[in-house]
Amino acid sequence: MAEGNIQKIDGLWFSNDSLVVLRAQERVFRVPKSILAARSPVFQSMFEFPQPVSGDDAMAGADEVMDGSPVIRLHDSPTEVEAFLRAIFDSNYFMPPPSQTSFSDLLGILRLAQKYDVGYLYKRAVCHLETIYPIELAKVEAGTSTVTLYVINATVDFDLEAIAVLHEVGATWLLPYAYYSAAENPVSDLLYAGELWEQCPTNRKEILLCLQPCQREATDRLFDALTSISKCLYADACNMSKFKFLKRRARHQRPLSGQYTFCRRLTLEAELCETCSTQAREQYETRRAEIWDALPINCGMENWEVLLQQREAAMA
């Protein structure tokens, strides 16, 4: 082929611009500038229009050189920067669901993907978080079977940290279930969450503390739906089964997490006559759908329709 016919394919022909060193506190990473610029418009702008050394953000220290490469200082967590860069340069490091990932990597990648405008990593991180903070009631039924995060000894800290990051990156549609999950914990767990609770803005604390009684009341409504007084041909037997079910009920605020609160619901329905079983199931599902619909409002947010529209725009 003649030299004049050679085509340099846009997006697959990287400039011969050597490497750049990114420094986050005491950790340094030397990576190809051209690949990083191709993934992130923010980094591309940094490389094309270097900022003054006195700037407050990422290009501070741009006159530094390490092993022949320019140094850019990033004012981000070193751990988060490492996970973020690995996700960019190692194609196997941060795979989409159903592959698993760690909670710390996930939140760090989400935060920096949003900050540096790496769209595909942002969307991938959101998809992982949607396995633990569902945006559809049907996904709640799946319980933990679809969760792609591996977490050791998950506590309320998990939810409080996620809530902070979700607010930061504008992933509003994930917040209702994140708040719900945090509010499943006793008040004492929230109050003793240490720095995470102290750093939580007052309005978020109010949401969490107000959501707990809402969820306890919602749980009571679900039990009422399952155990209304039967007046069927087998009323005595059906009412006795409902009484036994109520006697064994747990006292907590998990109206949507059926695998915990209502794990014996199917056993109850099997003990009831066909009429009472159908009625209990229908009333239970109706009340549960009402609770789900009210969740964003109880969190001081827009309704699900608006939140899902925001998701559609962010994931486009």
Q: How far apart are CA 283 and CA 222, in angstroms?
A: 8
Residue 18 pLDDT: 78
Contact 285, 222 (CB under 8 A): no
Name residue 30's beta-bridge partners: 21
Residue with the two structure tokens 């988060």 = 80
Question: Dihedral sign, CA of 175, 181, 186, 189?
Answer: negative
Radius of gyration of the chain (CA): 26
Residue 149 pLDDT: 73
Amino acid present at 85: L
pLDDT in tens, the chain (316 residues): 455 677 666 766 766 667 888 999 888 999 999 899 999 999 999 888 765 554 454 444 456 888 888 889 999 999 999 999 999 999 999 999 999 999 999 999 999 999 999 999 999 999 999 999 999 998 887 665 567 776 555 689 999 999 999 999 999 999 999 999 999 888 899 999 889 999 999 999 999 999 999 998 998 898 998 899 999 999 999 999 999 998 887 766 678 876 656 777 888 889 999 999 999 999 999 999 999 999 999 999 999 999 999 999 999 9
For the chain, the domains span 19-77, 101-210, 212-298
Residue 50 pLDDT: 62
Counting other chains too, the contacts that 17-21 makes at CB distance below 8 Å and 24 or more residues apart are: 17/47, 18/68, 18/69, 19/69, 20/47, 20/69, 20/70, 20/71, 20/72, 21/64, 21/66, 21/67, 21/69, 21/70, 21/71, 21/72
Contact 255, 295 (CB under 8 A): no
Residue 252 pLDDT: 66
Residue 154 pLDDT: 66
Residue 247 pLDDT: 86
